């Protein structure tokens, strides 16, 4: 028996309570049985997003929400600015280009966070920029971009929307949609909200809804105006993924019982303990600054292949973490602390890393990192 531990940055573990709620008999999405279910999910998402506006619920992966954030608010030829500091930054660029937008990029070295003043400069120089796209937590590098600072810059430009991919940051970071002025924020089910993959969430500001009026890009499946009309009636535009929405309510209930502030504190504490523990083993963080609370990206020690660390964790110890993507492949491995995780998931991860690295010939005094984690995670 090799017991499995899922510590990847999505999908993340789903609590049994949620899995079993999803195993109740299927109900019809246009029946009165479903209306209170969606109503409750809608209110729960407003709470989680810290917004008074509706948060749309889409039947797709998080990427579908990102596509909708483009095809509902822009037009062919629009100039937009993408903050590209990793694989998911690149994704914004590719999506925008696939719809014929003209993309300017601020290229951020992998492992670093964007300097907000660079965005300010670009916007000042070129008033024609219709949107600024960024990741809150860039999953490929484990870096958190300063969403509050960026929002406060972009919101001064009347004709520019601020669009945040918060797919891996939601739940792990305090993201204040209304207070900070985030125009569009995308989330996904298989991350902090502790659900299987299959749902995307998108908040939309009044400023963004106004821009939507003039957008002419094709938008049959990801049609946000239709989704908003339906959501007002506690419906979705097409067949609702009823099972996942039932699960969403269960997850939100668990998060609400914990309280938003405690949820953020837990993620911060687990992230901090992970970072301190791996550094105590002599390892270096891949994120040179502003590390994300959703996951920790760790440099493989010299002479050791990051992919091999990740594979050994899985094959020898049953721990599914993540390797590196694209240019970081082989150089790093990544441990998530996102969603349904607590202290002993971190202890497990650190112990696993110690055992794997020692097995690969890296000089580790077993228990060193674990001791640090224990100390930081004591009540």
For a second copy, the closer CB: 55 or 319: 319
Size of residue set near a second copy by CB under 8 A: 55
Q: Residue from 75, 238, 374, 376 that binds a second copy (CB under 8 A)?
A: 238
Closer to a second copy at the Cβ: 100 or 361?
Answer: 100
Segment interacting with a second copy (CB under 8 A) among 211-219, 249-257, 295-303, 367-375: 211-219
Instruction: Determine the Cα–Cα distance for residues 203 and 178; give it in Å rounded to an integer.
Output: 10
Of residues 2-21, those binding a second copy (CB under 8 A): 4, 6, 8, 10-14, 16, 19-20
DSSP structure class, residue 300: P
Contact residue for a second copy among 85, 187, 241, 352 (CB under 8 A):
241
Asked whether position 219 contacts a second copy by CB under 8 A, the answer is: yes
Residue 127 makes contact with a second copy by CB under 8 A = no
Q: Beta strands of 54-175 (E only): which ranges?
A: 55-59, 79-84, 102-107, 129-135, 137-138, 143-144, 161-165
Contact assessment for residue 373 and residue 335, using Cβ atoms and an 8 Å cutoff = no
Instruction: Report the C-alpha gap between 45 and 54 in whole angstroms.
Output: 8
Q: Nearer Cβ to a second copy, position 217 or 360? A: 217
Letter string b/e over residues 253-286, b meaning 16 or more CB atoms within 10 A of that residue's CB: ebbeeeeeeebbebbebbbbbbbebbebbebebb
Distance in Å, CB of 23 to a second copy, minimum: 4
Q: What angle do CA 235, 167, 39 make, to 5 degrees?
A: 20
CA nearest neighbour of 249 among 43, 49, 85, 77: 43
- Out of 139, 243, 249, 292, the only residue in the binding site for a second copy (CB under 8 A) is 243
x/- contact string, 76-115, with a second copy (CB under 8 A)? ------------------xx--xxx---------------
Out of 118, 217, 260, 304, the only residue in the binding site for a second copy (CB under 8 A) is: 217
d(CA 297, CA 379): 26
Q: How far is CA 172 from CA 144, 268, 341, in A?
A: 10, 7, 11
- For tokens 């709470």, the residue is 47
Cβ–Cβ under 8 Å, residues 172 and 193: no
Binder of a second copy out of 128, 179, 239, 289 (CB under 8 A): 239
Sole binder of a second copy in the list 85, 86, 187, 188 (CB under 8 A): 188
In the complex with a second copy, the residue whose CB is nearer, 3 or 125, is 3
Q: Does 242 bind a second copy (CB under 8 A)?
A: yes
Range 39-68, binding a second copy (CB under 8 A): 59-64, 67
The SS3 of residue 170 is strand
Residues within the interface to a second copy (CB under 8 A): 4, 6, 8, 10-14, 16, 19-20, 22-29, 31-33, 59-64, 67, 71, 94-95, 98-100, 188, 190, 196-198, 217-222, 238-244, 314, 320
């Amino acid at each position: 028996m090799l017991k499995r531990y899922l510590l990847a940055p999505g999908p993340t573990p789903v609590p049994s309570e949620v899995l079993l709620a999803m195993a109740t008999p299927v109900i019809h999405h246009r029946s009165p049985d479903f209306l209170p279910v969606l109503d409750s999910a809608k209110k729960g998402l407003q709470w989680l997003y810290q917004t008074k506006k509706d948060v749309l619920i889409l039947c797709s992966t998080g990427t579908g929400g990102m596509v909708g954030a483009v095809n509902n608010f822009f037009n062919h030829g629009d100039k937009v600015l993408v903050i590209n500091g990793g694989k998911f930054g690149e994704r914004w660029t590719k999506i925008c280009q696939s719809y014929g937008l003209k993309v300017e990029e601020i290229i951020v070295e992998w492992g670093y966070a964007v300097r907000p003043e660079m965005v300010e400069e670009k916007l000042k120089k070129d008033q024609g920029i219709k949107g600024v796209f960024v990741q809150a937590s860039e999953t490929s590098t484990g870096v958190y971009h300063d969403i509050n600072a960026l929002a406060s810059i972009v919101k001064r430009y009347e004709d520019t929307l601020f669009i945040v991919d918060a797919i891996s940051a939601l739940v792990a970071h305090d993201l204040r949609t209304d207070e900070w002025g985030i125009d569009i924020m995308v989330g996904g089910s298989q991350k902090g909200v502790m659900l299987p993959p299959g749902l995307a969430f998108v908040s939309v500001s009044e400023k963004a809804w106004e821009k939507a009026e003039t957008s002419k890009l094709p938008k049959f499946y990801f049609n946000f105006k239709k989704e908003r009309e339906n959501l007002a009636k506690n419906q979705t535009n097409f067949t609702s993924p009823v099972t996942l929405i039932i699960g969403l309510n269960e997850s939100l209930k668990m998060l609400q019982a914990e309280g938003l502030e405690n949820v953020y504190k837990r993620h911060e504490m687990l992230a901090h303990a992970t970072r301190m523990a791996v550094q105590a083993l002599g390892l270096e963080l891949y994120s040179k600054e502003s590390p994300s609370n959703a996951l920790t990206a760790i440099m493989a020690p010299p002479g050791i292949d990051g992919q091999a660390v990740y594979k050994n964790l899985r094959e020898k110890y049953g721990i599914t973490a993540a390797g590196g993507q694209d240019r970081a492949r082989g150089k790093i491995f990544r441990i998530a602390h996102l969603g349904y995780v607590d202290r002993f998931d971190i202890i497990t991860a650190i112990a696993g890393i110690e055992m794997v690295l020692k097995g690969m010939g890296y000089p580790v005094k077993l228990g060193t990192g674990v001791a640090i984690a224990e100390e930081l995670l004591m009540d």
